[in-house]
Structure 1
Amino acid sequence: MVRVTSCLSYLWLLVAVPSAVIAQSSPNTNPAVLDVAGQPLLPGVEYYVLPDTQRGATGGGLTLINRNESCPLYVGQHSRSSTGLPVIFTPFFASETVIYEDADFTVQFAAVTICAQSTQWELDESELSNGSVLIRTGTDPLYLRIPTKETDGDGYRLYFCPTTVCPICKYNCGNVTVVNEDGKRLLALYGPALPVVFRRA
């Protein structure tokens, strides 16, 4: 069973809350997430998510991986220094004009694939043997956030704990990490964080 949330009302919330309510935004006093040029991360703009080599991260940018020789495609990381595919961030509150620290958003690849489906990130339906849950593409939105910056450099980490989406829910919060499966570097929840930076495409 996927260790995502113990609050069934989370799923009900996404269905029952009118879109007009979701579009509202309470004042956000958190700092904006910055790209490598020092500019705020903007919704609807394409960015490369790259490993923060200054914090010891290796590999390249993010990409789509054919894990089982079938659809859906999974979110993974290039093993070498490729920039990968650009992504677009969409905040939970549609009126927010930047991506803030500690605020929920969805991620979607700005790419066309061989699969006739969305390139939005979602969680897989089952756990791996080590307790991690892979991230794939589909229509069930995965809400991530970027915790308050913990270093003086450019690095951030992606984190699952969507309390903006549902403040009363209890989650098994955790980092976005990388797991190796038959030589494929796949993104998953629950493990050592992959330090990342963002570069405008």
Structure 2
Amino acid sequence: MEKTMMFSFFLVALLSTNFFTGSSEPVLDTEGHPVRPGVKYYILPPYPGAGSGLTLAPNKGKCPYEIVQILSEPANGLPVTFSSANAHDKTIQLNTDLNIKFTDFKHTTPCHESKVWKFDASKQQFVTVGGVEGKPGPETLPNWFKIQKEHKDYKIQYCPTVCKKCRVICGDVGPVIYNNKKHLAVKESPLSVIFKKA
């Protein structure tokens, strides 16, 4: 990976083949049902007072748009769909490489990129849109995320394993206050989340 992928605050580079063992536990929504590919869900904090759902915000007139948490309450934000790197998966599993894509974004914007989540390896290390859906491999590493358990809830993590020979830096997706907005970035402290069917 490029030097810009290096985190000054987090883990040293790890071989993706050695980082995690597989897991067959399904991710559950707020009703206790398995989260399924292609179905719309809201990503929400698990308790009141922790903010609301997620949406997109302009990047000072530049593309792509950035992912932010809505500060006012209550608000579901934009729904997302999940798709696994294994197209045959009927449910979303813990510790599985997956794409996350916003749906129902109806605002007219000057940006025409996809609404697939992407890790931006710049200094801020924000999560943006503009990723590529599917095509797992070294060229699409920034587009793959995982869901992990976080106590009784969940967290989203960047630690792709779609390339067996690639070296990657792993980190949790959590909030960072920047320009009065609560951006999602890859960092040490995760944002605890739940998944509510839209």
Residue 167 of structure 1: how far off its partner (Å): 3.4
Task: Name 2:112's counterpart in structure 1.
Answer: 116
Which of 73, 95, 100 aligns to 2:88? It is 95
**Partner of residue 67, structure 1:** 59
Q: Which amino acid aligns with 2:175?
A: V
- Measured after TM superposition, the shift of residue 29 of structure 1 is 5.5
Alpha-carbon distance in structure 1 between the residues aligned to 2:154 and 2:169: 20
Shift of 1:33: 0.1
Match of 2:180 among 166, 183, 187: 183
Segments ≥4 residues shifted beyond 3 Å: 4-7
| TM-score calculated relative to the size of structure 1 | 0.78
| Contact 1:111–1:119, Cα closer than 8 Å, also in 2 | no
> What corresponds to 2:6 in structure 1?
3
* Distance in structure 1 (CA, Å) of the matches to 2:150 and 2:45: 16
The answer to whether residue 131 in structure 2 is matched with residue 134 in structure 1 is: no
What corresponds to 1:48 in structure 2? 42
Aligned length: 174
TM value normalised by structure 2? 0.79
SS at match of 1:66: strand
Residue number among 98, 120, 137 corresponding to 1:105 in the alignment: 98
Deviations 1:45-93 (A, max 9, x none): 1000001227xx7111010011213321111110022100000101001
Q: Which runs of 5+ in 2 are unaligned?
A: 15-21, 133-139
Deviations 1:18-56 (A, max 9, x none): xxxxxxxxxx761100000000000001000001227xx
Percent of matched pairs sharing the same residue: 33
Asked if 2 retains the 8 angstrom alpha-carbon contact of 1:75 and 1:137, the reply is yes
Is contact 2:23–2:94 with CA below 8 Å preserved after alignment?
Answer: no
The two structures, once aligned, show a CA RMSD in angstroms of: 2.5
Find the counterpart in structure 2 of residue 24 from structure 1: none
Q: Which structure: greater strand fraction?
A: 2
For the 8 Å contact 1:105–1:145, the answer to whether it is kept is yes
1:150 Cα deviation from its structure 2 partner: 4.4
